[in-house]
Amino acid sequence: MNTLKEIFADHFMMRKQLLKLAWTDTVKQYRGSAFGWAWAVIQPAFTIFVYWFGFSIGLRQNKPVDGYPRFLWLVAGMVPWFYMKAVIKDGAGSIRKYSYLVKRIKYPVDTIPTFVSISDLQVNLMLQLIVILIFWGAGYPPTKYLLQIPLFAIMAFLFFTAWSLFAGMLSVMSTDFLNLVKTIIPGLFWFSGILYDVHTIKGHEMLKQILLFNPVTIIVNGYRNSLVHHKWFWETPVEMRNYCLLVVIMSILSIWAYNKLKKEIPDVL
């Protein structure tokens, strides 16, 4: 409990600096490029185009989903994945990236993963707005179910910020852990139901239940329920229960890692 109080106190004390550092981190990603902020849209747009071409033109699997073109269903899940993929990698390397804050000015280590997560979320919120406009332009105007998108954005932020603190602390102690995180990201993509609906898996009920404990799957399904399937979050109680368990477990792990390693971090860096 003392460690938890310390983390909250650090975040409250640095609340203004967190937003400034998050904005600085975002700007640094695109500084020096001719297209600047346009890359925030170009890169994910090209990725979505590649998958659309592969499934719609190459494999010709373009059946509508609940009356929506499969391309829109794909976009609804891909965009939140871009945030989660970014923060899984950036969060794990955040403390190493900003080691000078710890070594030079004694900046609170536990807040570094937070502003890196905020930075990734800022870019993704812009992409989410673009997705809503794409749906609207395709003839599917906003519905009341969009009101829960902020909820799923907050859910993603809470879990993956806790992950960032846990992974960031371990990555400082071992570069092998950071390399492991980078290695598993492609596998996580395929195990998370981004290109398919986990609920449609047949003959493997236990596997389906395991996949529904994947936080990426839960968040992606939440966005798709808001944009395509038109379900409220309380209509998927199993996934909400699983998320609550996961965020509690990850929070405990992050607090444990911080409490265990905080004194060693400055010396290792």
- 39 in Cβ contact with 33 (< 8 Å): yes
**Residue 68: strand, helix, or coil:** strand
Name the pTM for this structure.
0.89
Q: Of 175, 201, 31, whose CA–CA distance to 93 is shortest?
A: 175
Q: What tokens appear for 145 in the block?
A: 């179910």
* 181 touches 88 (CB < 8 A): yes
Count other Cβ atoms within 10 Å, centred on residue 178.
19
User: What pLDDT shows up at residue 195?
Assistant: 84
Map out the domains of the chain as residue ranges.
Answer: 2-268
Distance between CA atoms of 222 and 163, rounded to whole angstroms?
Answer: 20
Per the CB < 8 A criterion, the answer to whether 156 and 82 are in contact is no
pLDDT, mean of each 10-residue run, the chain (269 residues) = 83 86 79 65 76 65 76 88 92 88 80 91 87 88 92 95 93 88 89 84 81 92 93 93 95 92 77
Q: pLDDT at position 101, please?
A: 82
pLDDT at 59: 54
Helix, strand, or coil (residue 14): coil
Residue 233 pLDDT: 93
pLDDT at 241: 95
* HSE (side-chain half, CA atoms, 13 Å) at 190: 4
3-state secondary structure of 62: coil
Longest alpha-carbon distance in the chain: 57
pLDDT of residue 37: 65
Q: Identify which of 87, 61, 58, 89 has the alpha carbon closest to the alpha carbon of residue 74.
A: 61
